[in-house]
């Protein structure tokens, strides 16, 4: 079996739903910029070398519909020979896209491909514009359609993840992100042309500007402030807007190659894709998914938790992320995730609580963040993982190239 390498990996900023800098920018335009940038960061590789573009999207309809993977590739001026498709596994959709391209390369079916993701939560709402659950099935098993926030409350209640634990975790996510923003550590970010419409003399005028930072980071966050927030999903619950991921807009992309292609184009790869796994769990506690998926992926890679030097564990909710870390034996080792620890290896530059969770884009977004930090720190093994609506988890293992 061949090896599959990631040779470049980028993301747009993640910006707040509705109020953020990308709220009026169409998802195709976000994805186009990620696709263009991932090629620009691979010197010597032209667009006609790319055989296929797979794009993860959690709600591929309306502006995100009509096979946005193919549409965006055409808008980005890839040739007609470059194919495109849209992939959906909800929160891991774009990690699935990367994994599928890696598997095709490993099987010898492809040499150069892109795995990407996009989600405009400002333009296409969570749940889509016209959700239509199956009526009889919804009566028999409504859990598969359950609000993600309610599942986060279930995890907190069933596994004794307190409000104080969640708020502390959220605080450190914001502080890690604040530090990274101040020190310009997000080298994977592509300055992105954004759109806004302003009224001038009774006419709406389209204006463009460049957005080059995540606009959801709250540098002034305090544990005391988080403690004052009201719960969102249950009157007597513990899940708040402050200890949950932000709903955001964004796009990301990774360029993958076979060993033969790497040699042909004379490019130094960042890392190779070692393993990918998905695992199922109860739908009403979908957040526990990483606790099942990570061990499965590590077993495929022949590795242990202790072998991993960097982690990107998606912070869909603090409650589920804490539980997954507990099951992996990571939470109690506080120096591994606290913002004021120089030994931290988990979500080192903040997670989705601070940076946002643009659903189908998140897998590719976390990959870009992980590739940047693995290269910067010289870390041999990195893992990214996330929970998935409907009751699943996904995890991927990457190995840094020497």
- The per-residue pLDDT for range 214-229, each reduced to its tens digit, is 999 999 999 999 999 9
Residue 212 lies in a domain: no
Active site residues: 91, 357, 387
Domain range for 254 is 4-123+183-190+244-396
Residue 118 to residue 365: CA distance in whole angstroms: 9
CATH number at residue 286: 3.40.47.10
Domain annotation covers residue 20:
yes
pLDDT tens-digit readout, 226-246: 999 999 999 999 999 999 999
Mean pLDDT of the chain: 98
Domain assignment present for residue 112? The answer is yes
Per-residue confidence band for 387, with pLDDT thresholds at 50, 70 and 90 = very high
Answer whether residue 166 is part of any domain: no
Per 3-state DSSP, the chain is made up of helix, strand and coil in percentages (nearest 5) of 40, 25, 40
Q: Is residue 150 part of a domain?
A: no
Report whether pLDDT(133) > 90.
Answer: yes
C-alpha angle 226-189-343 in degrees, rounded to nearest 5: 55
Answer whether residue 377 is part of any domain: yes
Q: Helices 318-327 and 163-182 meet at what angle, rounded to 10? A: 100
pLDDT value at residue 402: 86
* Dihedral in degrees, nearest 10, Cα atoms 192, 198, 204, 208: -20
Q: With a cut of 90, say whether residue 14 has pLDDT above it.
A: yes
Q: Give me the residues paired with residue 250 across strands.
A: 119
The answer to whether position 149 is within a domain reads no
Tokens 């544990």 belong to residue? 223
Two tokens, residue 251: 């796009």
Domain count, the chain: 1
Residue 265 lies in a domain: yes
Query: What share of the chain in percent tops pLDDT 90?
Result: 100
Rg of the chain on CA atoms, in Å:
20
Q: For 252-277, how does the pLDDT look when each residue is reduced to its tens digit (9 = 90+)?
A: 999 999 999 999 999 999 999 999 99
**SS3 for 271?**
strand
């Amino acid at each position: 079996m061949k090896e599959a390498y990631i040779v470049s990996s980028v993301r747009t900023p993640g910006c707040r739903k509705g109020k953020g800098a990308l709220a009026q920018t169409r998802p195709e335009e976000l994805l186009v910029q990620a696709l263009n940038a991932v090629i620009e960061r691979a010197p010597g590789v032209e667009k006609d070398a790319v055989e296929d573009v797979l794009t993860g999207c959690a709600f591929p309809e309306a502006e995100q519909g009509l096979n946005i993977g193919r549409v965006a590739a055409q808008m980005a001026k890839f040739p007609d020979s470059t194919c495109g498709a849209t992939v959906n596994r909800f929160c891991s959709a774009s990690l699935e896209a990367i994994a599928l391209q890696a598997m095709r390369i490993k099987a010898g079916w492809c040499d150069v491909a892109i795995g990407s993701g996009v989600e405009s939560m400002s333009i296409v709402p969570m749940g889509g514009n016209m959700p239509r659950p199956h009526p009889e099935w919804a009566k028999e098993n409504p859990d598969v359609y359950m609000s993600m926030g309610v599942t986060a409350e279930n995890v907190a209640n069933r596994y004794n993840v307190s409000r104080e634990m969640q708020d502390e975790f959220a605080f450190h996510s914001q502080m890690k992100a604040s530090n990274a923003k101040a020190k310009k550590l997000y080298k994977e970010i592509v300055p992105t042309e954004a759109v806004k419409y302003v009224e001038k003399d009774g006419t709406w005028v389209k204006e463009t500007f460049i957005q080059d930072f995540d606009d959801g980071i709250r540098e002034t966050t305090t544990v005391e402030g988080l403690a004052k927030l009201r719960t969102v999903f249950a009157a007597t619950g513990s899940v708040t807007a402050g200890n949950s991921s932000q709903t955001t807009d964004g796009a990301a992309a990774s360029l993958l190659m076979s060993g033969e292609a790497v040699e042909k184009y004379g490019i130094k790869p960042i890392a190779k894709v070692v393993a990918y796994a998905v695992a199922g769990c109860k739908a009403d506690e979908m957040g526990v998914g990483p606790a099942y998926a990570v061990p499965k992926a590590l077993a495929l890679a022949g590795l242990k938790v202790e072998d991993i030097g960097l982690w990107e564990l998606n912070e869909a909710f603090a409650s589920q992320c804490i539980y997954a870390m507990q099951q992996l034996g990571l939470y109690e080792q506080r120096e591994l995730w606290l913002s004021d620890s120089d030994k931290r290896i988990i979500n080192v530059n903040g997670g989705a609580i601070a940076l946002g969770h643009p659903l189908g884009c998140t897998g590719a977004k976390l990959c870009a963040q992980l590739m940047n930090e693995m290269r910067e720190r010289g870390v041999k093994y990195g893992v990214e993982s996330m929970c998935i609506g409907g009751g699943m988890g996904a995890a991927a293992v990457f190995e840094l190239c020497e």
